[in-house]
Amino acid sequence: MDYKSYIATKLNINGVSQEEIASFIEVPPTADMGDYALPCFKLAKIMRMPPVKIAQDLATAFSCDEYISECQAVNGYLNFKVNRTGFADALLNKILTEGDRFGADTIGNGKTICIDYSSVNIAKQFHIGHLSTTVIGSALCKIFRFLGYKVVGINHLGDYGTQFGKLIVAFKKWSSLEEVKEKGLKELSRIYVKFHDEAEKNPALDDEARAYFKKIEDGDKESNELFELFKAITMKEVEKIYKLLNVTFDSYAGESFYNDKMQPIVDELNEKNLIKLSDGASIVDLEEYNMPPCLILKSDGSTLYATRDIAAAVYRKNTYDFDKCLYVVAYQQNLHFKQFFKVLELMGKPWAKDMVHVAYGMVSLESGSMSTRKGQVVLLEDVIDKTIEKAYKVIEEKNPALPDKENIARAVGTGAVIFGALCNNKIKDIVFSYDRVLSFEGETCPYVQYTVARCNSILSKLGNPSSYSSVQMCDSEYAVISELGKFPEIVKSAAEKYEPSFVTRYAIDLATAFNKFYIDCKIASASEDAKNFRLAITKAVKTTLTNALTLLGIETVEQM
């Protein structure tokens, strides 16, 4: 039952439609505040009354029935409690009927969202700093698809720039085809670091690098063959990481893809008199908007990130006709996105308002910030390998006879890495710690996965409930039911706020509520009605936790 819409039909408020009232109704943060609440602050301007008075008048006029058992005015809120039995019956039936579609919606039908995320750099190893953009972007893709949107996941590859000239110089001086093909990205990283070390002593190397990058741009056969080799080696290795993290993309159109698409952008900016010259460089002056100028062309005529991003945005709008285009990029780039979004607006693109920078916090090491040039990074492959290894050791200690230990360890280990990156608000900075990532204690992914495995064990031993009828519920039973009912709204909120951590925190809360219920309420020895009802709760929890983890890109396991 759609309780929000039902409550809205019973509230007759002049000047406010039932749809608006339903959209105002919220799920309170704690159960003692009720199951649903209408904040009357949103009605104060319309009704020209204080929120406290509005809540009191509405509470007096509201008639409770077999669906809503209580309506109470509290500090400007109108709090509702639903009939527990009716609510439990309707919700459990919905979850058991819908299964892996519970929590899904059709609100996105007919709408397209482009999500630009991960965006790895060619010839650089996949390190822990790439984790946030990759798993946040992937989770948002899954969440929006779950809500009916057509999603285009884009890996805007860093495959353009003088760093490729540097690599060719380094390759020719300090490596060989045999070493690069044998050692892959490790070798490319080694010579990249060596180039910067040597360039500090011999700046002429930078001139050589620029010359080789110009050869790539001019179509030089040897330089482009080396560039394509570096790109193929990179993609082969990062694809292994993406597979472990359950990450997929619909497009790998990187920076180089837009080489032939930037001149029309520059021409349009000139036609609209937006370009100014400053020390020979072409800029768009944004002083009026309290921003530094947006650099479009350097004095030598070469393009920059902003030029390519503007070209990419226009291409994506023309190709996909998106309703929203999201960029999952660290907050260090806040100014860049404000600038190029503003340039699109000044170009007269009405869809500039649909561009969104989904900013997240930076990852640093306990020893300081990371630097690819100095070789000071923690490789993501190493992190995942260590968590899988630890998961396997824990299984060996606690359940050595467990079948399929390798796959279970892989699911638990990679799940721990993903969950750890998504468990806090995305904007928070993270200091990477192996100890924290490798901890399986407390509010972690293994705890949630273990809860799913516990549900599966109960259902395997006692059977799936073929039928059930509601019983007089204790607080622990209703606490689980109440948590289950929040899931559809949690998914929508995660999409609305671009915040996958809502789903992560929800999974912990539901697992915690279920484990308390498991301790408080006997299942096997309960009466037949109580047993079937509790088995229905167990199956609903397994279904909902599985759905939540799937949206995060995390596998569940049947046993642990």
Q: What is the pLDDT of residue 203?
A: 92
> Of 234, 2, 273, 205, nearest to 130 (Cα)?
234
> In degrees, to the nearest 5, what angle opens at C-alpha 419 toward C-alphas 414 and 425?
150
d(CA 385, CA 437): 12
Domain boundaries, the chain: 3-82, 163-244
Residue ranges of alpha helices (H) inside 124-202 are 131-146, 163-174, 177-183, 185-201
> Of 465, 466, 450, nearest to 518 (Cα)?
450
Q: Strands across the sheet with 275-278, in order?
A: 275-278, 281-284, 294-297
How many CB atoms are closer than 10 A to CB 425? 12
How many CB atoms are closer than 10 A to CB 12? 12
Q: What is the pLDDT of residue 518?
A: 97
Instruction: State the residue for tokens 């070390």.
Output: 197
**CATH of segment(s) 3-82:** 3.30.1360.70
Give the N- to C-terminal CA distance of the chain in Å, as an integer: 35
Q: What is the pLDDT of residue 371?
A: 52
Whether the CB-CB separation of 30 and 47 falls below 8 Å is answered with no
d(CA 502, CA 490): 6
Whether the CB-CB separation of 532 and 89 falls below 8 Å is answered with no
d(CA 527, CA 389): 44
How many CB atoms are closer than 10 A to CB 256? 19
> Of 152, 120, 128, nearest to 239 (Cα)?
120
> Bridge-partner residues for 71, per DSSP?
80
d(CA 232, CA 224): 12
Q: What is the pLDDT of residue 78?
A: 95
**Residue 124 DSSP symbol:** S
Mean pLDDT by 10 residues, the chain (560 residues): 89 89 90 90 91 95 92 95 89 95 97 96 85 96 98 94 91 95 91 92 93 87 92 91 95 92 95 95 96 92 89 98 97 96 98 97 65 64 90 90 93 93 86 69 88 96 82 89 93 97 97 96 92 95 98 94
